[in-house]
Structure 1
Amino acid sequence: MPTLGFEVRAFGCHIQVAAECLETYAILERYVFPSLPRLVGGAEKPDISIRLVRVSDQFQLSVDDAVVASAGQAISLVPDLIRVLDEAVIQHLTTLHAVHAGAVLWGERVLLLPGVTHSGKSSLVAELLRRGATYFSDEYALIDSEGRVHPYPRPLLLRNGCPEQFPVLPGECNASIGDAPAPVGWVLALEYRPECTWSVAAMPQSEGLLTLLRNTPHVLAESPDLVRVFQHAVAGATCYAGCRTDVADAAGQILRLIGR
């Protein structure tokens, strides 16, 4: 079978993906920025080239001809695939700034949930989607020079109590993906503590700004206009910090807090 593939432009990053069978091509089609247009036969050299192929009884994920992961099932490589795409996009950002944060649209404003990887952002985002929010991201909030958040349409990576992550599309949470940038309405810095009750207090916008700075990917942390961009982002936002328990309780508390 001939090589199957397509190209995608994601926030200034030119991505080329390829497969050698229908099974692996279907994985790429489903999980590589599924809401972005597919391009075929681009003349430019891509910024990153990704291949997902089957070799004997294993599937291999390659980036620029170097194998970066292998597994017995193709679907098991999707978390690695998404992380590879994240890294490529973040490195090629020119006009946007990334923050480690879940982001959903509620009404006409974005709720930011800053936090490091593995802090439970994705599970909380998924629960908010099930309750009517619009999806922007479960891992990176992309913020422009005016402080607006742009949708970053990666699949969610959820654990649901398991060590391994698995990909979930927003539609599986009955949610749509945002189609335009929106201003920040709220910044909630929540720490997951299973033994605590919901305990959240307002914090000044200056603390909200520092929270965004603390959650900036290292590769972008030295950007000279970062503080100005985040000042714009929090200028119209209400900021909170505190702790939460399980996602069902936290989602309900959040929606009450932001005035559902």
Structure 2
Amino acid sequence: MTMPLYASPEQLMRERSELARKGIARGRSVVVLKYRGGVLFVAENPSPTLHKVSEIYDRIGFAAVGRYSEFESLRRGGIRHVDLQGYMYDRRDVNARALANVYAQTLSTIFTEQLKPFEVEICVAQVGDNSDEDELYRLTYDGSIVMDEPKYVVMGGQTDAINAKLKDTYSDGMELNAALAVAIEALRATPANTSASTGSAGSNELNASKLEVAVLDRERPGRKFRRITGAALEALMPSTQQGEASSESADSSGSDGEKS
């Protein structure tokens, strides 16, 4: 008779944590940051149909990295929860803090009781009447709520490089176009994008077609969530005017060379 293999609870927790962290690190990065008009979401996402950023309720947005099927089930569950709360009480009683606590309990239960943890990291954001009332909550795979930086949240990919860049470039009260430029610059600071940016195609490494951008717009009446796509996103992209200017200067220098 063979004896069953034994693993200590500490070892099981370490293995689950390592599995979840590796899965999250393989995902494409997401940056959520405050700007003057509300909260901005910027995600590396070339898919036009599988969204990493979504609306949860009137003033609440959701962003996630990791396994799509797992964070999509969390998103749907969160929508059902807040819809029920708003129906039973009042829509103004629904807030991101309560939803973050629900997500924390759910993720903690999955991490401790199920064989495989969720390989996800999520952010719940709420826009308030002013910038001081905007709230960002980052939740890890084990249900921990991380509040290390109240102004912005970074998830997935090379978070250390992105966080370091944001510490140098982020400032309070930025306009939307400046906040988007800061977020894209931080995403380009990852080792993969940095090495790619040295080539001629590096400036297009994170173009509009590879980004998912949305905002919680404080000035918008009713539901605050709004996606920014197409021409509106192209107009806000920081590399558009720079790329045009560089191409014009290259053309002019080329024509001068032909003249000489």
TM-score normalized with structure 1 length: 0.28
More helix per residue: 2
More strand per residue: 1
Greater relative contact order (CA < 8 Å, ≥ 6 in sequence): 2
TM-score normalized with structure 2 length: 0.28
